[in-house]
Amino acid sequence: MFLLVIIDRLFLLFNFNFQYVGSDDLIFWQGAADYSKGIFHEPYFYGQNYNFMLESLVAVPFIKPGIPFQYVLPVCSSFIILFPFFLFACLFFKNGNIIESFIFLSLPLLLPVEYGLMTSITRGFTSGLFFSGLFVFCLIAPERKRSYWICASALALGYLFNPNSLVFAVPIVTYLFLKNYKRPSFYFINLLLIACALLIEYFAKRFYLLNPDYNVCAMWILQFSWQDLLSNLEELEKFFGYLTPVFWHSGYIVLPVLIILSIACWKEDWRKGVSLSTGVIFIIVLLGINKVGDDAGTVFLSSARMFLGIPLFLALAFSWSKNRIPVSNKSWTAILLILSSTAFIFKAALGDAIVKRITVKTNYAAIAIKNISELDCDCLRLQDVARQNNVDLIILVPSAELNVPAMEFYNYGCSLLEKEFPSTLLSIYEKRTWIYQKEKKAVHQNILIYGSEIASWEIKNIANTSLLPNQHRLILIKDNKLSTQDLLRSFRILLKRNIPPGNRVTKKTIWLKASNNKYVCADDNPNNIILANRDEAHEWETFILSSFENGDCTIQSYKNLYWSAELGSKNEITAGRNEFGPWEKFILIRLNNNHLALKAANGKYLGLNVQSTFIIADRDSIGENEKFELTSTSQAP
C-alpha cells in the first residue's frame, strides 16, 4: 500500500506539477533560490506578513546541485503532506496497531485528485500539517513526559507554519490534556513551547510593522460572524468536497460522520469521545471565521485549503472508533485494501482527464496557472529581444489582457528559468520589495516595457522610444536618462503597491447609480455581492469613497466593509473585507463631474450585468454599462 501511495502521487506530479506552475508558486521558487545562497530578505512569503516558506527551506539541498525548481518544489510539497500519514502508519504498525496503520496509509489513496492537486502545489497550504505527524508519538505514550515536549512542539510549530493544522491538533491536544490534566509539568511544557512560538510570530510580524513597504498583501483581520457560520453550513461542499474519500465524495457527510464516530468513542473511552467532539465543535466554529470564505472558485485557491487537516482527523476518528464497528480485523484489512486499490485504479484511469478539465481555465484573477514549457518559450523570446537591444531592465505592466497574476509568471519566473535573463520589475504589487526599492530609483540605459496599453501616438512623443515591430506590446526605450519611477511617469504609469501609512486620502459619502438607473446596493445577501437594483437610496445604498492621491480608491459599505475584486467564478464585486489590500483597491477614473469608472486589480473595468444586476469586473473598455453616476450624499436631493 505504501508503494501505491507513492505511485499515486507520482502520477499527479507527472500529469500536472511537472507541467504547470502557479503564479504564487514562483515566490517559493525565488525563496528556494535565495535560501540556497544564504539570503533571507524577510520572514514570510515575499510581500505578505504571514506564511513561512517551509517548502523553500526543504528544497535547498536539492536546488544547490542544480535540480530544476519545477521538479524539486512539488516533490517537497508532496513529501510535506504525506509525511504525517506515513509516520502515523509506520509507528502504529511498529506497535502492533495494524488496522490503525492501514487506515492512515489508505487515506491518501482514497482522497480525490483535487486533494492531490491542492497538496502538491507549492503554496504553503500543507506546511503546518507536516509537524502534525509528530503527534503519533504522543498517542503511543500519552502519559510520558517526553510526549508533553513532542505534543507542545507539534502544536506550536504547526500553528506557526500554518494554523490550518489546528483542525487535526485540537482533538489530539484535548485528549492529551484529559490524560494529564493533573500533572503540572504538562502545563509548564506546553505553555513554554507555545510562548516560544508566539514570540517568534511576534518578531516576524514586527518586521512588517517596522518595514511596512514589505507588506504588499496583509493578513486579514480575523472576525467571527454568526451570519457567516449559518451561511457556510449551507455550503459544506465548498469547504469539504475535496477532502472526502472518492467513494462518498460529498462535503455534507463530513460533519455527520465525525459526530457519529465521536459518539461511538464515548462508550469505549470517554476521553476520546470528548476529544473528537471538541474537534468537531472547533471545525464548526471555524466556519464562522471570515478568512475561510477566501475562495477564487478553483482548486488552486479553494476554501478547502483551510481544512486540509480533516483527512487526518477522519483517520484518527476511524482508528479510535474501529472497535465499536462490528467488523473483524481481517474484514477491516480486506475492506481497506479493496477500497484503496479501487480508488487507485479509478484515479489512475481518470486522473489525466480530471487534470485536463481543471486546467482548461488558467486565470482566475486572484491566481493563475501556466504551462511551464509555454512559459519557458515566452521567457526565451523576451530574452532574445532583450539581448538584441542590450536591454538592462524589463518592466512588466499588467493590463486588461494580461492581469497581475499573468505578468507575475514573467516577472518572477523568467529569471529563474533562464540564467541570462535581465532584471525585471512588476509595475503593480511587486512582491520583491528589495527589487522594488532598488529599481525605482535606478537609471538603466535600455529598458523594455511589456504589456502596457499605450497608444502609438503617445510613444512617438517620447524621445528614443519605439514600439518594436512584430512584437506584441513591447516598447523599447534607448539611451534613457531617467530613473525607472520618473520614466514610467512619463508614460503615465505609476509604480503601485500597498498605500503606505500616512498617504493623504479624501473621504466622501456617496451614492452610485448604474446604467439601468438603479442605485448600487450592498444589502445582506449571503455572498455580499454588490448589486444595482434599488429605486431609492437609503442605508444599504450609501458608501464611503476614499480617494488616494496616487489615483487609487477604496469603497466601503454602510457596515464599513470594503469592496473587493478578489473574484469568484462570475467576477462579482463583493463587500465583505474588513481591511483593504491589493484586491480592495480600484483605479478611479473621473469621466466628468458626475460620472466615474472603476478599474479593478485584475485590469478589468467594473460594469453592470444587466441580467443579474451584479456589478462585475470583466470589461475591457468603458461603455455605457461601465459608467456610474456619482452623487455625494451632501449634494443629494
Range of the domain at 448: 369-490
CB 11 within 8 A of CB 346: no
269, 354: one domain: no
Domain match, 344 and 393 both:
no
CA angle 508, 500, 218 (to 5 degrees): 95
What is the grid cell recorded at 22?
502557479
pLDDT of the residue at 459: 64
Note the pLDDT of residue 251: 84
Dihedral of CA 296/299/304/305: which sign? negative
pLDDT for the residue 90: 94
Per the domain annotation, does 500 fall within a domain?
A: no
Asked whether the beta carbons of 617 and 256 are under 8 A apart, the reply is no
3-state secondary structure 4-48: HHHHHHHHHHHHHHCCEEECCHHHHHHHHHHHHCCCCCCCCCCCE
Q: Is 560 exposed, middle or buried (0-12, 13-18, 19+ CB in 10 A)?
A: exposed
Whether 311 and 330 share a structural domain = no
What is the domain count for the chain? 5
Residues 390 and 295 in one domain: no
Model confidence over 189-210: pLDDT tens digits? 999 999 999 999 999 999 999 9
Cell reading at 159 = 500553528
Same domain? 347 vs 457: no
Residue 558 placed within a domain: yes
Where does a domain end: 463, 490, 517?
Answer: 490
* Count of C-beta atoms within a 10 Å radius of residue 217: 18
Q: Indicate whether 456 belongs to any domain.
A: yes
Residues 1 and 114 in one domain: yes
pTM for the full predicted model: 0.78
Report helix, strand or coil for 530.
Answer: coil
Q: Is residue 114 part of a domain?
A: yes
Q: Are residues 113 and 146 in the same domain?
A: no
> Within the chain, which residues score under 70 in pLDDT?
400, 452-461, 463, 470-472, 498-506, 549-550, 567-570, 632-637
Per-residue model confidence (pLDDT) at position 76: 96
Residue 497 lies in a domain: no
Give the Cα separation of 623 and 597 in Å (integer): 10
218 domain-assigned: no
Q: Of 426, 455, 490, which one is at a domain's C-terminal end?
A: 490
Same-domain pairing of 149 and 87: no
Cα–Cα dist 34/26, whole Å: 12
8 and 41 within one domain: yes
Q: Are residues 378 and 462 in the same domain?
A: yes
Do 533 and 613 lie in one domain? The reply is yes
Amino acid found at 479 = D
Instruction: Name residues whose C-beta falls within 8 Å of residue 263's C-beta, 6 or more positions apart in sequence.
Output: 273
CB 280 within 8 A of CB 262: yes
The dihedral over CA atoms of 435, 438, 442, 444, expressed in degrees to the nearest 10, equals -30
CA angle 179, 180, 183 (to 5 degrees): 160
Per-position b or e across 127-160, b if 16+ CB within 10 A of its CB = bbbbbbbbbbbbbeebeeeebbbbbbbbbbbbbb
Q: Is residue 101 part of a domain?
A: yes
Closest CA to 159 of 130, 136, 179: 130
- From 434, 467, 490, give the residue that closes a domain: 490
Structural domain contains residue 522: yes
Q: CA distances (Å), 229 to each of 204, 226, 232, 234, 286, in order?
A: 31, 5, 5, 9, 8
The answer to whether residues 512 and 609 belong to one domain is yes
DSSP 379: H
Distances (CA, A) of 387 to 246, 384, 393, 482: 51, 5, 11, 21
Each as own residue / partner, the long-range contacts of residues 138-146 (CB below 8 Å, 24 or more positions apart, any chain) are 138/172, 138/176, 139/172, 139/175, 140/91, 140/92, 140/95, 142/175, 142/176, 142/179, 142/180, 143/179, 143/180, 145/185, 145/189
